[in-house]
Chains A and B, each alone.
Chain A
Amino acid sequence: MSRLQDKFNELQSAHKKGLVIYLTAGIPDADGTLEAVKTAVDNGADVIELGIPFSDPMADGPVIQAASYEAIQKGMTLKKVLELVREIRKFTQVPILGMGYINVMFNYGFEKLAVDAKTAGLDGFIIPDVPHEESGDMKKVCKEQGLHLVEFVTPGTTDQRISETCTTADGFIYCVSVNGVTGVRKIDYSPINKVIEHIKKQTDTPCAVGFGIGSPEAAVDAAQRADAVIVGSAVVKLVMENKLDEAGKLIGDIRHALDKKVN
């Protein structure tokens, strides 16, 4: 069992919804990222999605684009992200997934990356520009290292693709709430809930809903069918503005709202 699977099993036994918090590595700086991870975990994050900055993040909205750009300007690299993971492992066993675009990973060498990531204490990857069709080789490499490679579904994913994804899904399934990019906005969760219901008939792999969730109310709304919610831009915005206390409070409020709703 991996840290990630253990966490989801634990959540399920406790009848709790999971909270995945996205943080861009290098924001506000390397040490600040460690603080941000600590704050997120202390306030109830179950999983950390650690953003590996890329110059052209095409699935991301303005906040994470800006964070990514700033992190690169400040010298954050994939190698340094792995160093950060090593540092994080000194104080927490929270599951950590590296979220980044494939070019940076290809550039590092994907096989070498998998080995180094495992050694550093990473639990897997989320790669938004690698759909099912392109993930074959990477899945194999990740599996060999005992790393998860998270796959995506969206409201527009066809039934056939959902079935294919369910067969190979690993860790959790990233359920994109809405057509578009990351960033806080009001969202109708019924289309993705339908997809999740469809998934639930085919696999026990947990479903996490992401894109657009920026408040406790939105998180509760998004968590109706899903096993977990992913919060990114809302937290990253506060971390970028050096408002770590407020970020912690937001995470804590979301945690509280999710727990209250279920219990």
Chain B
Amino acid sequence: MSKGRFGKYGGQYVPEIVMPVLTELEAAYEKYKNDPEFLAELRKYYVEYAGRPTLLYYAEKLTKHYGGAKIFLKREDLLHTGAHKINNALGQVLLAKRMGKNRVIAETGAGQHGVATATVAALFGMECKVFMGAVDMERQKLNVFRMKLLGAEVVPVTTGTSTLKDATSEAIRYWAAHIEDTHYIIGSAVGPHPYPTMVRDFQSVIGREIREQIKEETGGRLDYLIACVGGGSNAIGTFYEFRNDQSVKKFGVEAAGRGPAVGDNAQTLSNPASRPGVLHGAYSYLAQDEDGQVIEVYSISAGLDYPGVGPEHAMFHEEGIVKYVGINDKEAIDAFQLLCREEGIIPAVESSHALAYLEKLMPNTKKDEVVVVTLSGRGDKDVQQVAKVLGEEI
């Protein structure tokens, strides 16, 4: 078994061309991940630029609404650029700088990771190209313009299904042709080793802060953790710190879309029909047809409709460390509205999937129990789409 495995998942299933640069990246990451100077610089940008630590907010009205466990929200939505993606983008750009790269590239679906990458590229004076499916560019015009404002070039991808998976393949192809001066900032805990480990490490600041903050709030009592899972970076960042805490039940919420049929949802782990496979360099669970072709998945949330999932999640799934569940479009939109009304917080549609799981979990909780939901992003970007779903013209 090769390097970078989580149980049997992970690995480096990439063209030979990419191997030297992965080796270089792995060496750089090994060198800097515990380097005090690197960590201090990252910390500085987390605090002074991104706005960490994020609040752990006691949602009193939402708690009353359900009448069960106390609900806390981990407010990643309050970060600069509006989502947890900046945690990873900052970590990787600092690494890229140390590796002497002057260009960063990224793939993006909803545009949040593209915006985060364009942001850090602007901050560090690097050239930035963001690969985005033509279909997604049409759906997320606002984020496309945000990236342009930040000085990035948004490259439309028209191959395959013109969505996130194709944008990822295209980013890898571009990288293969420009390995000398380019660093590829993968946006989720997916891809070949060392990406799943590196992205997880940069995102696990979420879980570490929860651990610290919950001590103050409840004396450390924590019974449930909930996070949404597309590729799974905010979820792995939330769960990793608590992976050995058996008393903390962990739920990874995938998009159940508009139904259980193949292609109608983005459930990679919680769909009994899914099975392991290789996409974008890693062996993990994969939405694929009977011939092993990757299928186009669906969710109302552009940030969750990725056919793969991070390999560490595949291991957590098989070992029962995290329970993976599905929430459909309607349940997510209901939860979106509920949080707006009860707490005055507009959540991202992605994060609304995590919130919606409260409907199922809360009836079985007790008042002295504690649940933390990671609110991975804010929902301003989704307002137009939600209006459309609700039949409102804006």
Contacts and interface: CB of A to CB of B under 8 A. Distances in A.
A228 to B, nearest CB: 18
Nearest to A133: B2
Interface stretch (A99-107, A114-122, A199-207): A99-107
A161 B160 CA distance: 33
Given A69-B160, A104-B292, A134 B12 contact: yes
A59 interface: yes
A130 interface: yes
Given A55-B160, A129-B281, A107 B11 contact: no
Contact of B291 (A56, A102, A104, A130): A104
Interface in B279-334: 279-281, 283, 286, 288, 290-295
A77 B291 contact: yes
Given A129-B281, A179-B176, A104 B293 contact: yes
Interface in A141-169: 151-154, 156-158, 161
A127 to B, nearest CB: 9
A161 B24 CA distance: 14
B392 interface: no
A16 to B, nearest CB: 27
Contact of A72 (B16, B159, B293): B293
Nearest to B178: A179
Q: Size band of the B side of the interface? A: 35 or more
B15 A152 contact: yes
B288 A103 contact: yes
A157 B290 CA distance: 35
B179 interface: yes
A238 interface: no
B289 to A, nearest CB: 9
A107 B17 contact: no
A129 B278 contact: yes
Given A58-B280, A179-B179, A131 B19 contact: yes
Interface in B76-94: none
Contacts of A66: 159
B365 interface: no
Nearest to B171: A58
A161 B176 contact: no
A74 to B, nearest CB: 13
Interface string A170-191: 0000001001110000000000
B291 A58 contact: no
Nearest to B11: A134
Given A156-B20, A157-B20, A103 B278 contact: yes
Given A131-B16, A133-B2, A179-B17, A56 B177 contact: no
Contacts of A156: 17, 20-21, 179
A154 B294 contact: no
B254 interface: no
A22 interface: no
A76 to B, nearest CB: 9
Contacts of B165: 56
A261 to B, nearest CB: 28
B231 to A, nearest CB: 15
Nearest to B292: A107
Query: Which are the 6 A-B pairs with shortest beta-carbon distances?
Result: A107-B292, A180-B177, A152-B16, A104-B292, A55-B293, A59-B15
13 contacts: A54-B292, A54-B293, A59-B176, A78-B291, A102-B278, A103-B278, A106-B283, A131-B19, A153-B16, A154-B17, A156-B179, A157-B16, A157-B19
Interface of B: 2-3, 11-17, 19-21, 159-160, 165-166, 169, 172-173, 176-179, 276-281, 283, 286, 288, 290-295
